[in-house]
Structure 1
């Protein structure tokens, strides 16, 4: 019998039995793989006293029964996990597998509540973080009796030059807007988009859809402006030095699966990069202060990676939407 659309409320879950079994199996496999690396599973709080640390991620605000603000639901356990590492720098690594929350996210690849695997590996640079990420994904494939996926490594600047004919490190907003228009990308209120917004839009609508479905694509060399909590490094691009973020993303086919950093540990530099608007200062002073105090105490050299578990299940099972891999997506709740 056909399953109803989530647009038509129905008591049944979106994920079928085989997908539920796959989810459970993959959680065990990922936990076991990290356990073998001596990574410690931790339980950071979901309810935090924090404002929006990422400009494009909105948090759910929580109030007590009398309407008094009580904090926010975390969109990532990052701040608390780094504070744990600052307190216990000799840990080989820590990881979290559980729910996170992002307001306003809905669609085939988004849901306001989703499952994230996030881990921090001490002593690991960006190359080591990429290796760990690929190892975990390949282990997940084996758990579902899938062949090892081929891996293609790409440079952010080269992708923009080859696919769009521009230098993403030097092109201004006007050039990026014109390129988007010529690429058939329609934008409502384009005047509200900044340079990084245009880069993100071109990446998601033009470049990512060109990635082969059957392989993993690793992209690195993101502009320095696109990593609030990553170290910076200098590369050579087309004969001139460019400062980029020590950041990578891994795609399964056209689907972004993971985002990783060689983590920034300098508290002064981190303070400069955190949101500075009046709204941000009024909501996250306490959280900001405690996080920066932890960094001042000392964050061990480490890499951190966040992987969307539900998207991983989508790619491995060939399911078309998050609704078909979640027990209950938001429209079914």
Structure 2
């Protein structure tokens, strides 16, 4: 993503609750009173999925194995995953072939089967990616200082599956994911991204999620470059899980999700100077659990 384009428009789609699973909406995050063009309904209902932008085209895959592209004001089917997935991690990368691709990791299918496989989506099709260290779902995926991290989630356990504190990093030389560190709090349905602190230094932030299967957390942790220990930050304003993590320029936005009071329409933004999350002036028109969201270039949607 080229931040010189000043991507300020947010597209949100899918999610559970209030008939939002096929509904999309857009916002100009710099204009609280602005109005954006209507985005048509998705052809299918999607939740627990991710949005990515490749070559200025928003892409979403999941629940079933269809992948859709938002082009010329409408969603169109353009390829299929090898496996139907939800609650996967996803990241737009250019590390494999020198151009942007959507790397999808883990997740689950119906009936519940947790994947350790990954798939790489291009505008031309899909291919298999490197295997994860272990099957995982409801995790977070982020690129930091040239490395790709798989953070938290739910892994297979005995006698029950359980949330994990494990953090893995992809090794380009061995084509494997290796254990990097452990969070202070195991969690699934967490949010993550790369933010700047008050000194302008980049770090990974992890926020919210759930543990003990149904306890929603508000804990925030940071990882600085060259470190393997996570530090505790200021809690989220509210406990939150299953929000969309939207990467911005030195900040991230947490969109929708589920709090103790139910599905959320709130948007939270990381304030670098205060080094904490604050509520954004703009909120969604529909409360959404597990939505997909991303910033998009100006040519994707018009706002006034």
Q: TM-score, normalised by structure 2?
A: 0.28
| Higher share of residues assigned strand | 2
| Structure of greater relative contact order (alpha carbons < 8 Å, 6+ residues apart) | 1
| Higher share of residues assigned helix | 1
Which has the higher Rg, Structure 1 or Structure 2?
1
